[in-house]
């Protein structure tokens, strides 16, 4: 009986523990579940709803966080965090206060013009002043001064890389590592920048200029990664979505546009004039102009027709921004700071490991140390952020070369220790002479490299001109067939990007007006044929690429490419040919010449002559002039894919007696050997 009592007691304890754990998990799940987010329902028939209309229905916590501070030293730039707000006035007034507890952290006057302010690590903040950039601690004490970044007007902070980016009035962008105090890179971007914004997903900076172009930059590249023409006028403001896939811009011509960065195409737009833009984590867009702010709820989906809310500030707006993980919109004006409620704008979930909001001093120090250890290198910033953490597939030789270059650069930057020499050899004058000799040697090496590059370019240009003159001389003396043969065989070895186009332009310049008008007529015919082919679903098989006008003024030459049919020996083969249309077409019959496959190998076919001419009974015997170009092209493709074995035109097939089809249809390499 004793053993049974012990077992029963143990079972009861286990049941009690399981029930208690289940209750705890249920309570934790209830706590972690987001509460019902109140939103504003808008009818299309009613006018646009203002925030002041539902202010009386908000809970006390939200009403207490609606702030309206009157200030004198405006206009102000702001930087908002989930706990504190930083303000910088144009006349030099700087302040930081905790908007949750309504406590002032610091306030001072630098008596100097301030252009921008941004919060950085360890609750410090950086201010772009007239002379240089200053870094202050939470109490307002000056910690550091960045003299290299002069006359900076825009600031952005990359938290995962500990980089401070500053943009100059002249378009000079600098990246400063705040942990080491070193400048990583500086380069010119655009001479007329208007706005600077960071993509929080991949840490890439976007710069909008007065020409309406948005350029993306990273610290490891001296040039822009991509550039987009977004507006006809200047880009007044822009913002990125939380996932980094969308860009929203406002132009000086009075439009707001939503762009898809994956395809770099316009998704939606609306005719609203806005100088400031802000986008929340839930996709609520706020656009400010003057004293009015209009908000849209589903702008990323493309719904910009139905506004969500409207707010009217006390004076002219200077800067606006949403507070992360909160339903508040912060805005700075010429003479005040205002903070209002925007329902269903903040993301309720946040990563406690990455953003621990409720922490004491010890936990704060631990997070600072951990974030410094987990700091990402600047080389990891790229448009393709998904590649971070994957395997580097570059070869070992390339990696070793890059490492050697880095080691050599670091060694060259190191200060060499001076050697102890005999009397008179270590004087200042001799040291300066040695330095001058080293400088002269380096300059000579640079000049030699520049001269060698210039000589190479000149030689390449001379060779191209020689080839062009030779080809043009041949063109004047060649008949039509040889001209086509030259296009097929000789021009493939020349630079295809420059030579053929230039030769064709010179030939066209020598033509009279009648031939040019005839060429326009043929181009219209060919455009009609290509449209009919695409409508019939044959665009994968036949493609008309470009036109060539013959030098003897009798024919028009057109380049045609198509693919072989399935279940034939020419399956998945790209064939190239030239269709010759005489000037008296359609009374005279056209001709078609095959010259080579796309892989530059010859074509051996039963119904193709040795010079490449295709034997078409429709053209040779039964040409009436009523046939269209589409019918001609389709017959060419059918004859090529399904040849006539009974009446071969190629001498290779006529030499051989009647042999089995399998043996007669040799491979292309064997036929080439017979041809040679």
Going from N- to C-terminal start, the domains of the chain cover 81-188, 511-675
Determine if the peptide bond prior to 166 is cis (ω within 30°). Answer: no
What's the CA gap between 288 and 250, in Å, rounded? 10
Specify which of 343-352, 473-482, 485-494 reaches the highest per-range mean pLDDT: 343-352
pLDDT digits (tens, 9 = 90+) for 63-111: 888 999 999 888 999 999 988 999 999 999 999 999 988 999 999 999 9
Strand 591-597 with 574-582, pairing? antiparallel
User: In 3D, which of 273, 204, 263 has the Cα closest to residue 234?
Assistant: 273
> For the domain bounded by 511-675, which CATH number is listed?
3.10.110.10
Least-confidence region, from 147-156, 383-392, 532-541: 532-541
User: Does the pLDDT value for residue 318 go beyond 90?
Assistant: yes
Q: What pLDDT is recorded for position 556?
A: 66
Q: What pLDDT is recorded for position 104?
A: 94
What's the CA gap between 214 and 218, in Å, rounded? 14
User: In 3D, which of 147, 493, 225 has the Cα closest to residue 384?
Assistant: 225
Q: What pLDDT is recorded for position 553?
A: 45
User: In 3D, which of 487, 494, 445 has the Cα closest to residue 466?
Assistant: 494
Least-confidence region, from 84-88, 530-534, 610-614: 530-534
Higher pLDDT pick, 307 / 580: 307
Strand 213-217 with 591-597, pairing? unpaired
What's the CA gap between 400 and 220, in Å, rounded? 19
Q: Are 484 and 578 within 8 A, CB to CB?
A: yes
What's the CA gap between 277 and 282, in Å, rounded? 15
Cα angle vertex 423, ends 418, 429, to 5°? 65
Q: What pLDDT is recorded for position 582?
A: 74
pLDDT digits (tens, 9 = 90+) for 146-180: 998 888 999 999 999 999 999 998 999 999 999 98
Q: What pLDDT is recorded for position 494?
A: 38
Identical fold for domains 81-188 and 511-675, yes or no, is: no
What's the CA gap between 613 and 579, in Å, rounded? 10
Average pLDDT over residues 583-592: 74
User: In 3D, which of 614, 532, 71 has the Cα closest to residue 315?
Assistant: 71
Q: What pLDDT is recorded for position 621?
A: 63
Higher pLDDT pick, 339 / 456: 339
Measured from the Cβ of residue 124, the count of other Cβ atoms closer than 10 Å reads 16
Q: CA–CA distance from 139 to each of 124, 364, 499 (Å)?
A: 9, 17, 69
User: In 3D, which of 314, 343, 324 has the Cα closest to residue 67?
Assistant: 314
User: In 3D, which of 87, 147, 143 has the Cα closest to residue 118?
Assistant: 87
Eight-state DSSP code of residue 119: E
Q: What pLDDT is recorded for position 550?
A: 47
Helix (H, G, I), strand (E, B) or coil at 136: strand
User: In 3D, which of 202, 216, 239 has the Cα closest to residue 322?
Assistant: 239
Paired residues of 338 in beta bridges: 68, 331
Q: Are 268 and 256 within 8 A, CB to CB?
A: no
List the 67-70 sheet strands across, edge first. Answer: 67-70, 336-341, 328-333, 317-322
Average pLDDT, the chain: 78
Least-confidence region, from 244-253, 309-318, 369-378, 512-521: 512-521
Average pLDDT over residues 279-297: 93
Q: Are 174 and 149 within 8 A, CB to CB?
A: yes
User: Does the pLDDT value for residue 534 go beyond 80?
Assistant: no
Q: What is the pTM of this model?
A: 0.58
Write the DSSP string, 563-587: EBPTTSTTBT-EEEEEEEEETTTTT
User: In 3D, which of 650, 668, 545, 652 has the Cα closest to residue 602?
Assistant: 668
Average pLDDT over residues 133-151: 92
User: Does the pLDDT value for residue 429 go beyond 90?
Assistant: no
Average pLDDT over residues 422-449: 80
| Confidence at 671, pLDDT banded by 50, 70, 90 | very low
User: Does the pLDDT value for residue 132 go beyond 50?
Assistant: yes
Measured from the Cβ of residue 114, the count of other Cβ atoms closer than 10 Å reads 22
What's the CA gap between 131 and 154, in Å, rounded? 14
Higher pLDDT pick, 534 / 172: 172
What's the CA gap between 116 and 93, in Å, rounded? 12
Least-confidence region, from 282-286, 453-457, 606-610: 606-610
Q: What pLDDT is recorded for position 535?
A: 54
Based on C-alpha coordinates, what's the Rg of the chain? 37
| Confidence at 423, pLDDT banded by 50, 70, 90 | low
Cα angle vertex 604, ends 602, 609, to 5°? 105
Q: What pLDDT is recorded for position 549?
A: 46
Higher pLDDT pick, 230 / 305: 230
Average pLDDT over residues 500-510: 52
Q: What pLDDT is recorded for position 58?
A: 82
Determine if the peptide bond prior to 124 is cis (ω within 30°). Answer: no
Higher pLDDT pick, 313 / 431: 313
Q: What pLDDT is recorded for position 37?
A: 55
Give the rounded percent of residues in the chain with a pLDDT score beyond 70. 69
Cα angle vertex 489, ends 639, 569, to 5°? 30
User: In 3D, which of 526, 500, 648 has the Cα closest to residue 580?
Assistant: 526
User: In 3D, which of 371, 370, 251, 246 has the Cα closest to residue 301?
Assistant: 246
Q: Are 341 and 125 within 8 A, CB to CB?
A: no
User: Does the pLDDT value for residue 11 go beyond 70?
Assistant: yes
Helix (H, G, I), strand (E, B) or coil at 391: coil
Dihedral over alpha carbons 264, 267, 268, 273 (to 10 degrees): -20
Q: What pLDDT is recorded for position 218?
A: 94
Average pLDDT over residues 279-306: 90
Half-sphere exposure of 625 (CA within 13 A, CB side): 6
What is the enclosing helix (H) or strand (E) of 58?
none
**CATH top-level class of 81-188:** mainly beta
Average pLDDT over residues 198-219: 94
User: In 3D, which of 289, 369, 342, 330 has the Cα closest to residue 122?
Assistant: 369
Residue 420, judged by CB atoms within 10 A of its CB (0-12, 13-18, 19+), counts as exposed
Look at the chain and count its residues.
Answer: 676
Higher pLDDT pick, 599 / 277: 277
């Amino acid at each position: 009986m004793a053993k049974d009592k012990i077992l029963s007691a143990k079972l009861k304890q286990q049941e009690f523990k399981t029930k208690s754990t289940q209750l705890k998990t249920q309570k934790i799940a209830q706590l972690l579940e987001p509460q019902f987010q109140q939103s504003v329902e808008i009818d299309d028939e009613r006018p646009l709803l203002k925030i002041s209309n539902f202010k009386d229905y908000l809970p006390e916590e939200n009403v207490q966080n609606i702030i309206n501070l009157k200030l004198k030293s405006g206009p102000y730039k702001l930087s908002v965090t989930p706990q504190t707000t930083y303000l910088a006035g144009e006349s030099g007034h700087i302040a930081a206060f905790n908007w949750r507890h309504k406590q002032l952290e610091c306030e001072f006057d630098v008596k100097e013009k301030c252009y921008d302010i941004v919060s950085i690590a360890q609750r410090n903040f950086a201010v772009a002043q007239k002379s240089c950039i200053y870094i202050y601690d939470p109490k307002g004490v000056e910690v550091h001064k960045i003299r290299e970044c002069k006359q900076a007007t825009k600031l952005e902070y990359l938290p995962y890389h500990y980089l401070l980016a500053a943009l100059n009035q002249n378009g000079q962008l600098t990246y400063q590592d705040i942990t080491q105090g070193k400048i990583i890179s500086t380069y010119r971007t655009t001479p007329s920048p208007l706005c600077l914004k960071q993509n929080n997903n991949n840490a890439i900076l976007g710069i909008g200029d007065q020409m309406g172009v948005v350029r993306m930059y990273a610290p490891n590249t001296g040039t822009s990664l991509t550039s987009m023409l977004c507006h006809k006028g200047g880009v007044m403001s822009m913002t990125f979505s939380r996932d980094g896939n969308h860009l929203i811009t406002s132009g000086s011509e009075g439009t707001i546009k939503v762009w898809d960065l994956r395809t770099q195409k316009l998704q939606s737009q609306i005719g609203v004039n806005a100088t400031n833009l802000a986008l929340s984590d839930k996709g609520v867009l706020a656009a400010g102009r003057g004293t009015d702010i209009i908000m849209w709820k589903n702008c990323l989906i493309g719904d910009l027709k139905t506004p969500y809310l409207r707010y009217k500030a006390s004076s002219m707006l200077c800067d606006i921004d949403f507070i992360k993980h909160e339903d508040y919109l912060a805005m700075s004006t010429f003479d005040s700071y205002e903070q209002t409620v925007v329902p269903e704008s903040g993301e309720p979930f946040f990563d406690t490991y990455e953003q621990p909001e409720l922490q004491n001093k010890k936990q704060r120090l631990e997070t600072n140390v951990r974030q410094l250890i987990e700091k990402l290198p600047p080389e990891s910033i790229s448009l393709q952020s998904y590649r971070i953490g994957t395997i580097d597939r570059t070869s070992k030789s390339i990696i070793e070369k890059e490492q050697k270059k880095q080691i050599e650069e670091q060694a060259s930057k190191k200060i060499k220790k001076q050697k102890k020499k005999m009397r008179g050899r270590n004087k200042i004058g001799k040291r300066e002479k040695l330095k001058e000799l080293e400088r002269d040697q380096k300059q000579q090496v640079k000049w030699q490299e520049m001269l060698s590059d210039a000589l190479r370019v000149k030689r390449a240009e001379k060779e191209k001109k020689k080839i062009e003159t030779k080809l043009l001389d041949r063109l004047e003396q060649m008949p039509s067939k040889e001209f086509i043969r030259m296009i097929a065989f000789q021009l493939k070895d020349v630079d295809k990007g420059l030579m053929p186009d230039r030769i064709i332009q010179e030939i066209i310049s020598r033509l009279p007006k009648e031939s040019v008008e005839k060429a326009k007529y043929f181009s219209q015919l060919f455009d009609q044929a290509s449209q009919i082919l695409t409508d019939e679903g044959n665009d994968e098989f036949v493609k008309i690429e470009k036109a060539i006008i013959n030098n003897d003024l009798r024919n028009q030459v057109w380049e045609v490419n198509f693919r072989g049919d399935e279940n034939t020996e020419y399956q998945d083969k790209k064939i190239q040919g030239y269709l010759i249309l005489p000037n008296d077409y359609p009374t005279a019959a056209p001709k078609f010449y095959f010259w080579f496959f796309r892989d530059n190998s010859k074509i051996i076919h039963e119904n193709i002559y040795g010079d490449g001419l295709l034997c078409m009974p429709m053209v040779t015997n039964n040409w009436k002039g009523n046939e269209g170009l589409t019918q001609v092209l389709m017959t060419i493709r059918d004859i090529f894919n399904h040849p006539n074995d009974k009446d071969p035109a190629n001498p290779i097939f006529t030499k051989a007696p009647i042999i089995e089809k399998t043996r007669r249809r040799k491979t292309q390499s064997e036929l080439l050997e017979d041809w040679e």
